[in-house]
Structure 1
């Protein structure tokens, strides 16, 4: 069984994987040294690239923080708490818990990656309140659903190349999503992952003596203290009219955005949906702010780490290091093998550039001419880059931060299981991209 395979990985990772903040510092130093050695840039130029790019992800960092906080506030509303509880009670055994949380996370991530990260983590936490199951694997299973996002409805690369005016349109034109997201090979990968991932996670389930259980008292939801609304200001804070009115106003806007304006489900619309739903369901500003105070500490990792990843991305792009990595893989490719090598190169580059849009900006100028020169299938090559980006997210702590923050775990707690997921899904996706 896979639990025997996963056991040495989990022990290795628990012993040697540092906190994600230490990981990003070490990754920064490694990237700096490699860029100085293998690119034409001198140390001063590399340093300038790092410092100049340090704040490039501030907007995205705020979006990620808001996804986490608004998702947390929504899940803590009485209605959502009851709903998650009822669903969690369906998983009355450890195997059922692993299968159910994986499936829910896969489905939510296929719809939208931000939605999937938060829903998967919150659902795992709800299950752990009622079912005795290895908490590390439960959270790793919730995170594993994230692997499908780039082949789903919010995949940034297929949506980018399907949009008129994208930066590589002169080279490849506009490629419809029927050739990427809804192509036969992509649907095969998605369906395959919906089957493989729950089974892999279920069969990694440790036996009782090796399992690590969470203290259920740590998972209890905080009950807001009643407040005596005696002052006029207190009455305003407890006003249901303000809370319900603001929530309804926001949701009416979203209906107009989606139905009448043709808006899409993107990161901003997910945040708005979470926020206005939370305001409506908490009913009063007082309840909402209480929930926010509980949620804020879980966002600390995002605040401190994202600037460092922005600096790493700047080094990779500005010095040409990312392009060199991609070119090294593609130089040995043929028309048939180019999707496979594009997939592997994207997986490696993603460790340093954990951004779907950033990944395509780095690799498109390399894979597009290569695909044209070799006569390779361009939509398949583009999706190979997308799937490579999604693949190594399994071992990239950058994306695990919201999940870990909600669950109250550290990266070392889940990454051993994620390594097994990485190996198995990597073989499956490589096969489909190469031969289907």
Structure 2
């Protein structure tokens, strides 16, 4: 990808910090798959002395966990695919083009894409990742002098918000109530409504403050002109964009381009969706979220042919998920495998934080421990499976509300995704960049958001 640079004033402190972080990341961060491979070896070596297991037992734990996230991986892949289908619908593209017209300077572009991506991720994380990257590309073609790498990084920082939003897997798992007693070692036996998690005072305060602060932090990182990477707009033209459908010449082609097929399917789907919310209220889970976005995409794309084109394009962004999820499931298998004394690596990390906690600090330490575990289990559902059996009973014993403990796990899972390249893959695929290009900026965002989240759990 060809880039150009221009020149200007001396950099600020935050610009220098982000520049150093970017340089270090460019030099030392491996490809996301290699990152997963390295984590596999690290956890393998740690598991033996911590748990007292033999090498063969650890290998068995890795292989035993390898396929445990297939259902969840399919749900995550569908989130990405349906999110892309939504974002690529003509009505959304026109909306994004209109929004991009409001940015008249590079820093305005950075702030707008951060905010839009964050709001979209609060609605649905897969949709947010995709729409943020698409919007960033639109801004790069319209705003002169904007740093393309920071633009895409800013779009990705919206992912910080996802687990505090409507598609957060931990709060949705609590809301469903399914298997809670087993998942939390008996700490929870009844469903916890989203009014106590997603729509709680603590969560909404954290989201509100970060919606203000994170765009400002990203804005402050924009390099001066001599260090700005500006991409040639012609390189961002998507050769895969759908062209005008040719006039149908056969009955099959007429059926493929019939709006009535999609309308009938949408009627069927939305009949269920409306009835679901009438009967269940705003009780969201991953399946209903995917159902809503899929049938909305069916309606907005108009014809089966256009829908299939959008789905095919979105499916390309799931390659990293399909390859890496089994390895992270294997890593999780090693993390939770208990030795002769009943000790696992994940348990040892969580127990250490529990031991140094009290009622006031427990949510903060839960958040930090979740951030550490997320390096090895970068999946909201997997994170919950690893930590809920330990942190939820401990929080109950200390008198911490179950919903607050659960949201601390959720925010920890989202937080260190800023320096875990796995979830950046869809956005990077759309942008034509690699993880090394954006992770330096994400380190700065990680630090800023960490302060806000800790303060929220400590003082609210």
TM-score if structure 1 supplies the norm length? 0.91
Instruction: For residue 162 of structure 1, report the CA deviation from its aligned partner.
Output: 5.1
Q: Which residue of 1 is the match for residue 155 of structure 2? A: 142
Instruction: For residue 427 of structure 1, report the CA deviation from its aligned partner.
Output: 2.0
Instruction: For residue 52 of structure 1, report the CA deviation from its aligned partner.
Output: 1.7
Q: Which residue of 1 is the match for residue 362 of structure 2? A: 338
- Measured against aligned partners, the alpha-carbon deviations of 1:131-186 in whole angstroms (never above 9, x if no partner) come to 23212111211121221222334433344445556223843565555554444333
Match of 1:315 among 326, 330, 334: 334
Q: Which residue of 1 is the match for residue 54 of structure 2? A: 42
Match of 2:438 among 400, 414, 417: 414
1:270 and 2:270 matched:
no
Q: Which segment drifts farther, 101-110 or 20-29?
A: 101-110
With over 3 angstroms needed to count, the CA separation of the structure-2 counterparts of 1:119 and 1:33, relative to structure 1, is same
With over 3 angstroms needed to count, the CA separation of the structure-2 counterparts of 1:109 and 1:276, relative to structure 1, is same
RMSD over aligned CA atoms reads 2.5
Query: Is the CA contact (8 Å cut-off) linking 1:257 and 1:263 kept in structure 2?
Result: no
Does the residue aligned with 1:129 lie in a helix, a strand or coil? helix
Does the residue aligned with 1:55 lie in a helix, a strand or coil? coil
Does the residue aligned with 1:90 lie in a helix, a strand or coil? coil
Match of 1:60 among 65, 69, 72: 72
Query: Is the CA contact (8 Å cut-off) linking 1:113 and 1:146 kept in structure 2?
Result: yes
Does the residue aligned with 1:171 lie in a helix, a strand or coil? coil
Query: Is the CA contact (8 Å cut-off) linking 1:140 and 1:417 kept in structure 2?
Result: yes
1:425 and 2:437 matched:
no
CA distance in 2, matches of 1:182, 1:282: 32
1:156 and 2:169 matched:
yes
Query: Is the CA contact (8 Å cut-off) linking 1:105 and 1:142 kept in structure 2?
Result: yes
Q: Which residue of 2 is the match for residue 360 of structure 1? A: 384
CA distance in 2, matches of 1:379, 1:66: 27
Q: Which residue of 2 is the match for residue 244 of structure 1? A: 263
Query: Which sections of structure 1, spanning at least 5 residues, go unmatched?
Result: none
Match of 2:230 among 187, 191, 213: 213
Query: Is the CA contact (8 Å cut-off) linking 2:86 and 2:127 kept in structure 1?
Result: no
With over 3 angstroms needed to count, the CA separation of the structure-2 counterparts of 1:406 and 1:61, relative to structure 1, is farther
Match of 2:96 among 84, 104, 128: 84
Instruction: For residue 348 of structure 1, report the CA deviation from its aligned partner.
Output: 0.3
1:188 and 2:230 matched:
no
With over 3 angstroms needed to count, the CA separation of the structure-2 counterparts of 1:336 and 1:274, relative to structure 1, is closer
With over 3 angstroms needed to count, the CA separation of the structure-2 counterparts of 1:268 and 1:214, relative to structure 1, is farther
Does the residue aligned with 2:272 lie in a helix, a strand or coil? helix
Number of equivalences: 436
Q: Which residue of 1 is the match for residue 5 of structure 2? A: none
Instruction: For residue 425 of structure 1, report the CA deviation from its aligned partner.
Output: 1.3
Match of 2:125 among 100, 113, 116: 113
With over 3 angstroms needed to count, the CA separation of the structure-2 counterparts of 1:278 and 1:357, relative to structure 1, is closer
Query: Is the CA contact (8 Å cut-off) linking 2:118 and 2:128 kept in structure 1?
Result: yes
Instruction: For residue 214 of structure 1, report the CA deviation from its aligned partner.
Output: 2.9
Q: Which residue of 1 is the match for residue 17 of structure 2? A: 5
Q: Which residue of 2 is the match for residue 199 of structure 1? A: 216
Q: Which residue of 1 is the match for residue 63 of structure 2? A: 51
- Measured against aligned partners, the alpha-carbon deviations of 1:268-302 in whole angstroms (never above 9, x if no partner) come to 33333333333333322233333344444333222
1:101 and 2:113 matched:
yes
Query: Is the CA contact (8 Å cut-off) linking 1:99 and 1:199 kept in structure 2?
Result: yes
Does the residue aligned with 1:67 lie in a helix, a strand or coil? helix
With over 3 angstroms needed to count, the CA separation of the structure-2 counterparts of 1:292 and 1:369, relative to structure 1, is closer
With over 3 angstroms needed to count, the CA separation of the structure-2 counterparts of 1:392 and 1:229, relative to structure 1, is same
Match of 2:254 among 235, 241, 266: 235
Query: Is the CA contact (8 Å cut-off) linking 1:197 and 1:421 kept in structure 2?
Result: yes
Query: Which sections of structure 2, spanning at least 5 residues, go unmatched?
Result: 1-11, 339-343
Q: Which residue of 1 is the match for residue 143 of structure 2? A: 131
Q: Which residue of 1 is the match for residue 306 of structure 2? A: 287
Match of 2:276 among 239, 247, 257: 257
CA distance in 2, matches of 1:308, 1:282: 35
